[in-house]
Amino acid sequence: MTCASPELIIFDSDGVLVDSEIIALTVLVRTASEEGVSISMEDAIRSFRGVKMTDCVREIERRLGRSVRDTFVADVRQATALAFDAELRPVEGIHAALAAITAPVCVASNGPMSKLTHALGLTSLLGHFEGRIFSAYEVGSWKPDPGLFLHAAQTLGAHPSRCVVVEDSLSGICAAKAAGMRVLGFTGGDPEIEQELAAVCDDLFHRMSDLPALLSME
């Protein structure tokens, strides 16, 4: 699928704009351990990357055989925010890539708005997207449902077939494909991510420096 002269570039946040996924998953694994369930990082990446928090909690509770504590989600959110303050960095090359992109851009993420603005602010990316950040929590549609991407396109006046989505998760790619959008899968050089995404996205790329050229392809 090609998309000549895209009307809108839609970015996921975690793992695409900000190098946040391992930080967030580490917090989730640690908080789950406090509840009594042991989860390896490999398992966490496979089971929880790109998955909305409600479904993460549901899976943890399934493994536990009981409900987690009432403050579990709030504790995860708070600990993640603190970890971001200490460790969060932008994905390598994203600032230069955004500077080279001439089409309109936006963010569409399964994360809550407070997390998105916090992460983008910490990494000096907020200015690229201010006023064009879409959270599944505000739209009421989570990837892999296409509703979040369709809402972003409609709000910004772009036809789905003229949108390009930049994603690193299977759920996000499935959402974009269901929305009728071209999808570029970002691997960050991770062979496991490459293997997971290769069969489902329109193009794969490994470095953000390659993105502007991919967007100009017809």
Residue 127's contacts (CB-CB under 8 Å, 6 or more residues apart) are none
CA distance 13 to 179: 18
Short-list 84, 13, 11, 22, CA closest to 49: 22
Distance of CA 81 to the CA centre of its chain: 16
User: How large is the greatest C-alpha to C-alpha distance in the chain, in angstroms?
Assistant: 52
Catalytic residue among 12, 14, 19, 168: 12
Short-list 50, 60, 44, CA closest to 136: 50
Q: Does the active-site annotation cover 12?
A: yes
* Residues classed as catalytic: 12
